[in-house]
Structures are given as C-alpha cells and as structure tokens.
Amino acid sequence: MENFISVHDAGNIDALVAKALQYKAHPFSDSSLGLHKRIGCLFLNPSMRTRLSTQIAAQNLGMDAIVFNVGQEGWALEFEEEAIMSGSTVEHVKDAAPIMGRYFDVLAIRTFPSLKNREDDYSELFIRQFIKYAGIPVVSLESATLHPLQSFTDIITISENFKEKRTPRIVLTWAPHVKPLPQCVANSFAQWINAWGQADFVITHPEDYELDRQFVGKATVTHHQDQALKDADFVYVKNWSTYEDYGKIYCNDPEWMLTNEKLKLTNNAKVMHCLPVRRNVELSDEILDGPNSLVTEEASNRVWAAQAVLSEILDPKI
Ligand code: CP
C-alpha cells in the first residue's frame, strides 16, 4: 500500500478486514514490524479517537508515533503553488513536507474542509500537496472530503455484527446538528459500502442535503426516513451540511433524530455513529445508552483498522 487516502488504496476490503480482525485477536503479533520506524501524526484540526487509535496502532507494531498539532503549535502552512506569502501563512508545504519526509517513515494527516469553497475542498489540495512533497507514504486521518480509516472501521464493525447468510440492509441517515459539518464521513461511508458491494444500501436525508453523486453511486436515495428505516439491519447516523449550496444548514428538523420509536421500523437494527456526537440533537440518549448502539465497539475498532493499514504500508501482503 503506497498511501491510504480513500477506498481506492484499500485493495481487497475483505482481506483488509480479516487482517484487522487478526490484530484485534493478537494485537502484538507483528510487534517488531515497525521497529526503528517513525510515524508523524499531523493534526490541523482536533481529534480524540483518530489521534489515540493511530498512536496505539503504531506502537502495537513497534513504531514510534510523534504527534504534532500543526493547527495549534506549528507555523501556519501555505498550500497554494506560487503563492505570494504576504498574508497569514508562514511556511510553504513544499518546504515543510520534505523535512517531515526526512524525519519520518510514514506521515499521517488530519485536515478539515473550509466549507466555504466547494471546488477547493473537493480538490483535496492539502493531502495532495503532502503526497507530492513529503516523498513518504501518507495516511489520511480525515481529509476535506473523506475519512477512510473511519469507514474501514465501520465495515469491520458491520462484518463482526452480521453473521446471517443474506445481504444486510444498511441505512445512512442524515441527523440534525447545531453547526454545519463536513460531508466527509457520509461521503466516505458511501464510498466504502459501495466498493464493498455486500449491502442493500440506502441513503436518507431531507431535501437539499444531496451528497456528491460520485460517492452515492448506486445507493437508493430517499427523503423519507421512515421508508428507509424499514427492515434495516444497520443504521449509520451522521449530520452533514449541504453539498450543492455548499456548507450550509437548510432544514434542521429535530424529527430526523433517531429514537427507539423509529427503531421499531427496523430489523432491530444496530446503530452506528463515528463520534463525537451531540446527544439529543443528532442521536437520542435512549439509543446511545441502549442495547442497539455499536458506537463504543465501533470506536474501539479504530485501533485495528489503523494497525492493518500501517502494517500494509510497512510490509504489503494483500
Ligand atoms: N471519529 C473520529 O474521527 O473521531 P475524532 O474526531 O475524535 O478523531
């Protein structure tokens, strides 16, 4: 594996899931693989799960993990080519990234979209520039449009929790939120579920929250949440802001929050969310604290997803 930026870097998803589950069963089975290797984890934005799980995964493989909160502690980076740097940015990525390429063996980066200019965000300039100038493998810890480690984790979690010999019905539902959030978790989940190809996949959201068609693929899309939830085996809950009129909140109807009453429409569905979650805005207490919630299990699987990916970068086997 050269980089890990999207599902296109994953190769055989089932094989990668199997590898992650092997690490879950035997966390230290490859504890020498990363000996004397170093991963730099750059955060331009906040994180809890991604930061900790990636560090633990690296340490399980014997790697040193160094976290650098660039957004708070580093020089403000410029990403545009030929920029005249007379504004707030202090250092160009084409100067910083090659140095990181000398310090580290793998570079992992978290950056969020601006939600101001769709073309800029969807060009994934930050990640592309690090790949261009670092000269070492780059892992996305969430980018402007995608969150591949989260989505890989989600498929691991679904695989563990569905043992029937039929196709699961998986529903991605929009949920209300107080702030405009990126589309990246929803984009990425759709991209991975489509590539996995082992689900009856439905996306439901209010009008005006259509996602980019390149990620929706062949999923069924409906504005009627009740219809979507019928017979669902898994309900993935996530807010996102508008894609067409970019980065806005239109409808924020609290009726879209998942409740136990709505869960009755499903096939006793397991409920997933990437976290952090706004309780009783995005998801109700009764769901999060109830028996159908997979959120803690899902977040704990982030370690094995990251460990499988780092292992494939250090020593490709799949
Ligand atoms: N789900 C997720 O990426 O969590 P953090 O933002 O805490 O890393």
**Domain residue extents for the chain:** 7-146+302-314, 150-299
Instruction: Name the closest-CA residue to atom 3, ligand 1.
Output: 50
**CA–centroid distance for 123 within its chain:** 17
**CATH ID of 150-299, from 3.40.50.1370, 3.30.70.380, 1.10.3720.10, 3.20.20.450:** 3.40.50.1370
Give first-to-last CA distance, the chain, whole Å: 8
Residue 50 CA: nearest ligand 1 atom is 8
Q: Model confidence over 262-284: pLDDT tens digits? A: 999 999 999 999 999 999 999 99
Instruction: Name the closest-CA residue to atom 1, ligand 1.
Output: 274
Q: Note the pLDDT of residue 63.
A: 98
Q: Note the pLDDT of residue 71.
A: 84
CATH architecture of 7-146+302-314: 3-Layer(aba) Sandwich (3.40)
Instruction: Name the closest-CA residue to atom 6, ligand 1.
Output: 47
List all residues whose CB is within 6 A of at least one atom of ligand 1.
47-50, 142, 150, 274-276
- 166 C-alpha to ligand 1 centroid (Å): 31
CA-nearest of 63, 43, 62 to 140 is 43
Contact criterion met (CB below 8 Å) for 311 and 15: no
Q: Note the pLDDT of residue 307.
A: 98
Q: Model confidence over 199-252: pLDDT tens digits? A: 999 999 999 999 999 999 999 999 999 999 999 999 999 999 999 999 999 989
| DSSP letters for 228-289 | HHTT-SEEEEE----TTTTT------GGGSB-HHHHTTSSS-EEE--S---BTTTB-HHHHT
Contact criterion met (CB below 8 Å) for 175 and 288: no
Q: Which residues of the chain have pLDDT under 50?
A: none
- 50 C-alpha to ligand 1 centroid (Å): 5
- 49 C-alpha to ligand 1 centroid (Å): 5
What residues are paired with 77 via a beta bridge? 91
Q: Note the pLDDT of residue 196.
A: 98
> Inter-axis angle of helices 125-134 and 93-103, to 10 degrees?
50
**Single-letter amino acid, residue 158:** I
Query: Strand ranges (DSSP E) for 37-157?
Result: 38-43, 64-68, 77-78, 91-92, 106-110, 138-140
Residue 274 CA: nearest ligand 1 atom is 1
